[in-house]
Amino acid sequence: MNRITSTSPSSDPRAMAWEILRRVEEEGAYADALLGNAPNAPTLAARDRALLTRLVYSTLAWQGYLDHVLAAFCRRPPAALDAPVRTLLRLTLCQICVLTKIPPFAAVNTAVELAKRFRGGAAAGLVNAVLRRAATSWRDVQFPSRQDDPIGYLSARLSHPRWLVERWVAQYGLDEAEAMLRANNEPAPTALRVNRLSGDPAKLLEEWRRAGRAAEASPYSPVGIRVADGGPAEAMPGYATGIFSVQGEASQLVSFLLGAQAGERILDVCAAPGGKATHLAELMDNRGELVAIDVSARGIERLARMAQRLGLSILHPAVADATTWHPADGKFDRVLLDAPCSGLGTLRQHPEIRWRRTPEDIASLAALQRQLLLRAAEWVRPGGVLVYATCTLSSEENDEVIGRFLHEQPLFLVDDPRPFLPAQARELVGRGDALRTFPHQHDLDGFFAVRLKARG
């Protein structure tokens, strides 16, 4: 099948959404990257661009729910359908069942035309038959009983894989897990971090408000701003000149946790794409030395470009595998390990992750995290600080990694992070003196971070 974008009109957000969703499913691509690089997106009106984003994110988030509904109207299981047709059916059902402001007849007619144009008459007939039945009867579809099978009910109704629901119910309890699942299906605000070396959050916020941009100060980060009116943040005034960066609010808090000071020597392990590394350099007033390593060459290139745009000269990005790397110039005052993780705290930003991860991934990642944490500890000077952070809600990757590390490394102890966090964020420190953020409680991505102190 030819790419839709090679022949379709540039002004059709539904056709563009279908193309992006196909690449996410068939190529393992990430939706945010495809949306950011969609060749026709800049030509769309703001309303159509917002619709394109909503179609993509909502279809991915509600995929399990949509497949459950779809199964009621197909002779074959959704998994057995032609992949592009299955994606088109999900996209259209999402408009009917989730984004209910779109008239069903318009959604169905568009889907039939797209199927006819790109998959032929037989596919168009199937799409027409399934969607017209679904458009009138989707509310009658039966779900597992909440009382008899609460895991199955939450999995199907709130669109998460069953294994993940089982884990979160066991870890957080039924009510808490349900609130978390609901929050994961809601759109997240775009968060920005103002470069304190060249911008002032209050002044920037006022300028944007006067320009008609919907924006508000972050409730937790003193350099954070939330924007909610769509459109690429990179196109906003001030981005090209380094006044601000795009970075989640919870991610911003991790850099504060390290307590970086001007003139120090700091190491950021697994630093790409560079949000925390550049924030650390800003917190150091661009004085000292910040070594940022990552195994991804593309990620390091992106980090270097970001540092240049922000005017940060103390950053030294390098491609390196932390499991084998040896620093040439001794130990560091502070080390940040933002560990590779399952990303299950970022399902609002990356809804496709829930369909890709497996229980085996969690165990594998936890083993890697333990290895990296032990390596990172070797590079901390006596009396120095090591921060371990993830963007997941899995206890195997968080509390269990820290517990095992402390057992194997008696030279380290958990340090109270509250004095290093902005005052408004200290309430986010919970059990085990760990920073813990949740989408359903704080409207933040799910992050975990612990500040570890090396005995002097």
Which residues are catalytic, by number? 391
- Cβ atoms 355, 161 nearer than 8 A: yes
| H or E stretch covering 294 | strand 289-294
**Both structure tokens of 453:** 């102190």
Q: Which residues pair with 316 in a beta bridge?
A: 291
Residue 139, Cα to own-chain centre: how many angstroms? 31
Rounded-to-integer distance, Cα 410 and Cα 389, Å: 20
**Both structure tokens of 357:** 């991860």
Rounded-to-integer distance, Cα 304 and Cα 330, Å: 23
Of residues 382, 380, 389, 285, the one with CA closest to residue 337: 389
| H or E stretch covering 332 | strand 332-338
Q: What is the residue type of 42?
A: P
Strand order in the sheet with 190-194: 215-217, 224-227, 190-194, 244-246
Residue 445, Cα to own-chain centre: how many angstroms? 7
Residue 236, phi-psi category: left (phi > 0), alpha (psi -120 to 50), beta (remainder)? beta
- Give the list of residues 6+ apart from residue 233 with CB closer than 8 angstroms, or none: 190, 192, 227, 239, 244, 246
Rounded-to-integer distance, Cα 137 and Cα 145, Å: 19
Torsion of the alpha carbons at 344, 353, 371 and 267, rounded to the nearest 10: -80
Q: What is the residue type of 348?
A: R
- Cβ atoms 354, 339 nearer than 8 A: no
Rounded-to-integer distance, Cα 172 and Cα 168, Å: 6
- Is the Cα torsion angle 210, 214, 218, 219 positive or negative in sign? positive
